[in-house]
Structure 1
């Protein structure tokens, strides 16, 4: 399988070298492509054919991204400047960018953080298109200069979660109408409660409001405990939970929604808080989810990270590295092979296309990190190397 993966990686790299320019964003634009580019060049090493030319191409692309991201109208992590600035911080951590250039490229961080506060006050805690994604970017850099913002942000998040004296509740934020929806809880990673739990873990590890961060994290974990439906061979959790109603509904297997990310973050919470019961719960959920393989059970129709096979493979790859449980190794290998098998489209980038049920023809080409070949390539590189350093940007970091 390694040779097949290497062939696909080379095809992805060549496809990206000839692509038309995308918008300056991380999860669906140029920064995601540059992230794969940097990782691939590092993996192939200085002995690779055309290494010097590849490095020069990367530097030129990085320069273009740096220039085009100036004045980026969107502040968000997925589609805007917060994600691009995280990528610059990632390059600084990799010693690709020096301190001076990093400070210049990210000099608009204070404005982004001001916007995050405003979005949170409106109830928009969304990871991809709201305040938590912007704030999560701030927690990555090895600096204390953002502590005041981070503490203020978390205090507002805590207040949002405990508006009722009786229970913790964070209302789903409707991104279409830009309003919170009373009595409705989104449980997913992309737009929902499990991303809040992950944010709490990051705050706790960075010593930002650590006591309150632990309380909120454990209360969210308790909500998941009380919601789980063990009387099923399919999903244990729905996408959406209605307050004071029995949990009902079905969720896919994927990064964006469903049991996979829920189980993974609950396991991580158990590690962070040294809570064996939480680790066991996360493990139970992920073992259960590993048995769902058919398209009908998983709703997997492409190879992308968001709702496809690569995202599933990556989570199980990390769980294998954490636990050495052979169930996770087998599940990882299965979904890696499924990812390779999705490279079947003659007109697709490296043979891949993204499933878009609202699009004409349903399958579309995508270079992006979240839905396209940049992300698929990063997952395959992690599978070969055991290097997961890039996956902070999808909230799967340690």
Structure 2
């Protein structure tokens, strides 16, 4: 089968299954109806499928009408932040007219939620105040924020919650003040990525300085103890735990690849060649890692910790630096090696054992994989969904 046809067949397989299942009661963008609508909308635009497009618009209208009843969970992937972000995404494409009263309401609501999470020390991308920042980044990119005060508030909040030592600045885990998370999903790399994005939008000098200080701190933790990676997934402040000496996986969520991407992207946003070079040094150590390596810990194709997320990070890095096409192609080949439905199942822990099961979600399931595949066949696709992953 021709290579591009294999990719299209994979997309069609995912699309057919996602359409076939009943719309979930869960409206979230992480694992629910909004994830389904985001993927199908981009599918419809890519393949000019009016029937699918109409079904997405109709489906999201029901979500839109119930938005103010979803305020009990305001988080990015499980609550209304992701849903309102998707509303902005649709408005940007002309699918809906922008309701400024609704936006003003959620601006106020999300800022209040941000301040609450700040007091709790919860900066987490998926479950804390960085998740609200994704919404305000989208507003800024659409020209809906006159002076970007909201983005500046997030930078100031990060500065206020940071801790300092002789190496730079860092942030401790909300649930364990002795632990520092090095994952892009829940840790310092997501902060670095965010600060780079804010600097691109606002040229706010504090975002640049804080990002540089946090990169300095991460680089101070680099170790040559293992031959396949420089960093663990987490670090204990007392430096006595074996956690500090464990390796990390190949994934979007944790590991050297995601750290390298965050540092490189920040360096490009701030036009700092030295930082880009530091990111590339980390990246180079990942190039020899394969999907079959036990240390890679890859068991499915999901974006969070599977093949599609790894491929997409290499794709983004190669697009910006134009020198890692061989590695990008290896992971793309692995992603579409099989095109049957079961090959896209998620590896999940259920009833005290691991098993493979269908999952329509953006984070670990079909819709995230589908968006990555669409980005291959449609170079004009609006990939601002990657902001949800701080890419």
* TM-score of the two chains, using structure 2 as the length reference: 0.90
Please list the CA deviations of residues 74-103 of structure 1 after superposition, one character each: whole Å capped at 9, or x if unmatched: 100111111111111112222222223x65
Please list the CA deviations of residues 30-63 of structure 1 after superposition, one character each: whole Å capped at 9, or x if unmatched: 1111111111111112xxxxx3322221221121
Give the conservation status (yes or no) of the 8 Å contact 2:308–2:369: yes
Distance 2:65 2:358 in 1: 26
Q: CA deviation at 1:238?
A: 0.5
Question: Does residue 1:290 correspond to 2:287, yes or no?
Answer: yes
SS in 1 for 2:333: helix
Question: Does residue 1:239 correspond to 2:233, yes or no?
Answer: yes
Q: CA deviation at 1:136?
A: 2.6
Partner of 2:44: 41
Distance 2:147 2:347 in 1: 39
Distance 1:182 1:332 in 2: 37
Decide which of 178, 186, 195 is 2:190's aligned counterpart.
195
Partner of 1:8: 10
Please list the CA deviations of residues 222-256 of structure 1 after superposition, one character each: whole Å capped at 9, or x if unmatched: 01211122353212110111225284211111011
Distance 2:302 2:359 in 1: 9
Instruction: Figure out how many residues of one structure are paired with residues of the other and give that number.
Output: 377
Q: CA deviation at 1:284?
A: 2.3
Residues 227 and 67 (structure 1 numbering): CA distance in 2 closer, same or farther, change over 3 Å?
A: same
Give the conservation status (yes or no) of the 8 Å contact 1:126–1:191: yes
Partner of 1:78: 77
Higher relative contact order (CA 8 A, sep 6+): 2
Question: Does residue 1:369 correspond to 2:362, yes or no?
Answer: yes
Residues 355 and 153 (structure 1 numbering): CA distance in 2 closer, same or farther, change over 3 Å?
A: same
Partner of 1:321: 319
Distance 1:285 1:148 in 2: 34
SS in 2 for 1:362: strand
Distance 1:332 1:65 in 2: 37
Question: Does residue 1:168 correspond to 2:169, yes or no?
Answer: yes
Distance 2:258 2:81 in 1: 22
Gaps of 5+ in 1: 46-50, 175-180
Distance 2:390 2:237 in 1: 26
SS in 2 for 1:289: coil
Partner of 1:274: 271
Distance 2:154 2:271 in 1: 26
SS in 2 for 1:172: coil
Partner of 1:217: 211
Question: Does residue 1:338 correspond to 2:334, yes or no?
Answer: yes
Give the conservation status (yes or no) of the 8 Å contact 1:239–1:258: yes
Stretch moving more, 232-241 or 359-368:
359-368
Partner of 1:99: 98
Distance 1:31 1:106 in 2: 21
Distance 1:377 1:118 in 2: 35
Give the conservation status (yes or no) of the 8 Å contact 1:88–1:105: no
Q: CA deviation at 1:135?
A: 2.0
Q: CA deviation at 1:361?
A: 4.6
Give the conservation status (yes or no) of the 8 Å contact 1:256–1:307: yes
Give the conservation status (yes or no) of the 8 Å contact 1:314–1:383: no
Partner of 1:228: 222
Question: Does residue 1:357 correspond to 2:356, yes or no?
Answer: no
Distance 1:262 1:80 in 2: 27
Decide which of 111, 122, 125 is 2:109's aligned counterpart.
111
Please list the CA deviations of residues 261-282 of structure 1 after superposition, one character each: whole Å capped at 9, or x if unmatched: 1100100111112211211122
* TM-score of the two chains, using structure 1 as the length reference: 0.88
Distance 1:148 1:319 in 2: 30
